[in-house]
Structure 1
């Protein structure tokens, strides 16, 4: 008898629980006019504000946020996208800062790398300048040969004319190359200057005491294996 009673009570309890779970939710909110509204479905008057979804027993099941228009959703997605991009940039900036600090633990290391980089460019310019001098010598020899045809340049041999054109072309190439390398030196100096500003901040934050650089202009390091030929 006791067993039967217990089984019956269990079935009744299970039925009640299932009934509550299967029952529809209750939605409640306070609309724009201050009225409290209750319904068995999402409330149209409160689509622009938070609604509470309750069980039939009055227990809070969840809160339903305001519905967004297509334009509002697009704006929210764009805002979230920009925030994610900002977080990604912050992570990348920190990674770059760590790498910079590892590469240049002291001012002297940074200064030496600048010296080396500029010296390599100077070696390239030196080679191009040497080639320019050679071309100038060749041009003088060509001009000397043209002296024989001053009165009638049209009679100059095609080979001589070709050599003159090639010399002019090569000289122009070397001139442009040297100008480009001078611009490269400016870019290198600018890059190191910008890095130094950042490094000073990083060294301070890291509690480092960077070595003081030698005053004056940056000098040259050992020769680089670079040359320009044309």
Structure 2
């Protein structure tokens, strides 16, 4: 009878052990658990076994429930309007980065071209002399037109200084002379404005260069 009882107990224990999961299976089940963690607007660190609603607008780290090792990151969840705003901000940052790169490139070129103020002053002088030479040529042409007008005025005296009584050929010469004078005057004025523009350009460059030379 004792042997029979011991056999029955052993059989029951075997059935019980067979029904229990193996230790490795228990570890796998425990390891499958995930922990979500984030820092909210108040600076508090929150943890949960599911995505945290108050951190929906920020990244949430996903940790292994047993080891605590990070398994991944849950990205923020945004509305359509929020996504558009984020894209706009990203584009603005990229444009600003491009602007800064372009500015640094211009500064390098400027320093290579003008290593000191003497080089910059010499370049300004050359640029202005070219325009001044054009102005002198136009002023000479204007003097020639004025001399031609004096000859026309002398010829008009024969008609009592009355252009209405002058022949058509003489009238056309007066008209042509007037138009040429006006054209030269406009051209000279435009070149003087160009001189002012050159000075303004070199003044602005000089201000930037002084800051660069001082670095």
Unaligned runs of 5+ in 2: 1-24
CA contact (8 A) 1:27 1:51 kept: no
Q: Distance in 2 between matches of 1:166 and 1:204?
A: 57
Q: Distance in 2 between matches of 1:50 and 1:120?
A: 63
What is aligned with 2:119? 109
Change (3 A) 1:127 1:164: same
Q: Distance in 1 between matches of 2:55 and 2:108?
A: 50
Give a deviation string over 1:35-56, Cα, whole Å, max 9, x none: 96535xx676753444444568
CA contact (8 A) 1:52 1:60 kept: yes
Q: What SS does the aligned partner of 1:138 have? A: helix
Q: What SS does the aligned partner of 1:142 have? A: helix
Q: Distance in 2 between matches of 1:109 and 1:46?
A: 59
Tell which deviates more after alignment, 190-199 or 50-59. Answer: 50-59
Unaligned runs of 5+ in 1: 1-15, 206-230
> Greater Rg, structure 1 or structure 2?
2
The number of aligned residues is: 183
Higher RCO, 1 vs 2 (CA within 8 Å, ≥6 residues apart): 1
1:168 matched to 2:178: yes
TM-superposed CA distance for 1:178, in Å, is 0.7
CA contact (8 A) 2:37 2:62 kept: no
The one of 176, 180, 198 equivalent to 2:190 is 180
Q: TM-score, normalised by structure 1?
A: 0.67
Give a deviation string over 1:89-124, Cα, whole Å, max 9, x none: 111111111111111112211111111111111111
The one of 70, 91, 97 equivalent to 2:101 is 91
What is aligned with 1:221? none
Q: Distance in 2 between matches of 1:173 and 1:180?
A: 11
Between Structure 1 and Structure 2, the one with more helix by share is: 2
The one of 200, 211, 223 equivalent to 2:210 is 200
